Structures are given as C-alpha cells and as structure tokens.
Amino acid sequence: MYEAKTVDLAKHLEEFKEQGYTVFERVYDEDTIAAWKEKFHQLKEDRAATSQNEWWYSSTCELAPKLMLPAVANPLILDFAELVMGPFVQLDNLTLAGFGSITKAEAGSRVSGWHRDRWANMPGEDYTHPLSINAISYLQDLTDEYGPLRVIPGSHRKPCGLAKEEQSIPHPDELVLNMKAGDVVVTHNGLIHSGTPNTSGNIRYFFSVYYNRTWLKHTDNHSGPNVQAIIQAARKRNDHRTMRLFGVDEHLEARANSGFLTADEQRWAEWSAADKAAIKP
C-alpha cells in the first residue's frame, strides 16, 4: 500500500508551519494507484446504470472499505496529522474524483479557482493549528497538461484575500507543484490553493483524504455497515485512533477539558503515545 521508509516528520512539520503545505514523496505504489483508478471506473459504470453521470465520489470508505481504509489510516499520514492537530483526527471525507479534459483554447491561462478549504477562516499574522487538513494524492504525474497544483505559500498565516476577478487567474506569489503519482501533499485548511485545467486528453484523477477535528461535523456518512464494522473491530483492539477517524472519540471530554497548562504539542505527543501503547495485539 505504501512504502515503509524513514521520514523526518519534524522537517515536514517545520515546512508545513512555514509554507502551509508539505509533500511526502512516493507514498503509494503503482498497484495501489491502479486499484483506485479501477474503483473510480467501477463506480462511474455503476452510477451510469442509474442514469447518473458522476465524476466525484464521497463516502468511499463505506463503498470499498478494504481498499480505502489503509489510506485513511495510513500511519505515516496519521502520525503527521496528530503533530499538527493533536490526537483529535477525524475523517471528514474521503473523495475519489476525476476531471475531464478540455482544449488548451478553452483553458487559456486561467486556473481552476483559488480558495481556502473547509473549516478555514481569514488568518491573522501568526501560525495557528488547523481545524482541518487535506492529504491529497494524484493518480498520475501532474504535468503541465494534466494540470499541476498551485499554492500561495504562507497564505495560511497572512490575512490576504483575492477579489472575484483574481480568483481564476495565476497569482504573482504562486508556486506550481508538478507532483508525481503516489505523492501525498498535506495542506493546511487556511492555505490558498488551486488546481489547473486538464488539457491532457485523458482523465485527471484526484484522491483526497480530508481530516478535521473530532468535535466538528463530518461530511461523509460513517453510519453504514462497513464503517460500523471497522469501528467495532477497532473497539475490540482498544484502537482509539481508528475509532476517532469515524467519529467515536472516547477521550474527547477529558482531553478537551485538560486545563491547558502544558504546551499543546507536548501534551499531544503524550496522548498519542498512550493511545498507541493501549492497542491490544
């Protein structure tokens, strides 16, 4: 599913705080990417049978739990998520999507649309811990034709906005990220970013695991039988991290009312270590 390797999470955290995003390279292999593409086309075919021409699929952990749970619960990404949000990480939504191709003439020089993500706000001058983060993978290399990701570094800690006429054109402070298939970019929900129109002649595949804090509402439906089975299995293992992903946070009351006399990241590390130690074999 993902390559086991040593990753310096402290460096990624430093970059995330400074720039508003960080890229983990080659997290997913070709077989995993191929399986996600196959699932996309299966869902598209199934929906077409009911006259629904859809390109965007949510609640996909319920639709394909064996395939999707390893991505939602990827230990590398979750370890990083707990560094930036604490052990309060919930799955807001897991999205598998495709974007059709348009001509270069239709695309012109525009971008897909600058925005901050769900649960964001207009930031101040200092870094604040995000209420949500997005762990995005693209299932093909993001060449200029496939449409790279565009970010405005540092916009998660600057009170900067864009007028309506600026929201679909390149920005002078933008950075263009030509990510590789299988990379994961984790973005702060306050980061201003945009896609780029797809002119490749093929589908541009997009895979997003969007996390928020457990006291917020989630977008995906976690009440289906497959997700409920995941929760029950996690409860038997005393695996609070997996339960929290799907809206069951049995430590929330105590940890959300802890007195807050210890530095957040120190306390988070203690709680995260305790959760891991409590898991039964």
pLDDT of 6 = 75
Q: Is 73 helix (H, G, I), strand (E, B) or coil?
A: coil
For residues 76-115, b (16+ Cβ closer than 10 Å) or e, as one string?
A: bbbebbbbbbbbbbbbbbbbbbbbebeeeeebeeebbebe
The DSSP secondary structure of 143-196, one letter per residue, reads -TTT--EEE-TTGGGS-----GGGTTS--TT-EEE-PPTT-EEEEETT--EE--
Write down the residue that tokens 């990510």 correspond to.
Answer: 179
pLDDT, position 50: 59
SS3 218: coil
Instruction: Cite the beta strand spans of the chain per DSSP E.
Output: 21-24, 56-57, 89-99, 132-138, 149-151, 175-177, 184-188, 193-194, 204-213
Domains of the chain: 9-221 (2.60.120.620)
pLDDT tens for the chain, 281 residues long, are 444 457 899 999 999 999 999 999 999 999 999 999 999 999 988 876 655 556 889 999 999 999 999 999 999 999 999 999 999 999 999 999 999 999 999 999 999 999 999 999 999 989 999 999 999 999 999 999 999 999 999 999 999 999 999 999 999 999 999 999 999 999 999 999 999 999 999 999 999 999 999 999 999 999 999 999 999 999 999 999 999 999 999 999 999 999 999 999 999 999 999 999 999 98
d(CA 101, CA 99) in angstroms, rounded, equals 7
Instruction: Determine the straight-line distance between the first and last CA of the chain, rounded to whole angstroms.
Output: 21
Find out whether 244 and 222 touch, Cβ atoms under 8 Å: no
pTM, two decimals, is 0.94
Please, what is the angle between helix 264-278 and helix 75-85, to 10°? 140
CA dist 55 → 7, 11, 94, 112, 138 (Å): 34, 36, 14, 16, 15
Nearest CA-CA partner of 181 in 143, 128, 130, 229: 143
Tally of CB atoms within 10 A around 9: 16
pLDDT at 47: 76
The contacts of residue 110 (CB under 8 Å, 6+ apart) are: 168, 169, 197
For residues 112 and 142, the answer to whether their CB atoms sit within 8 Å is no
Q: Taken in order 183, 24, 120, 73, is the CA torsion positive or negative?
A: positive
Task: Give the position of tokens 């996390």.
Answer: 211
pLDDT score at 4: 46
Give dist(CA 250, CA 231) in Å, integer. 12
pLDDT at 144: 95
Residue 92 in contact with residue 220, Cβ under 8 Å?
yes
Tell me how far apart the alpha carbons of residues 181 and 169 are, in angstroms, rounded to a whole number: 25
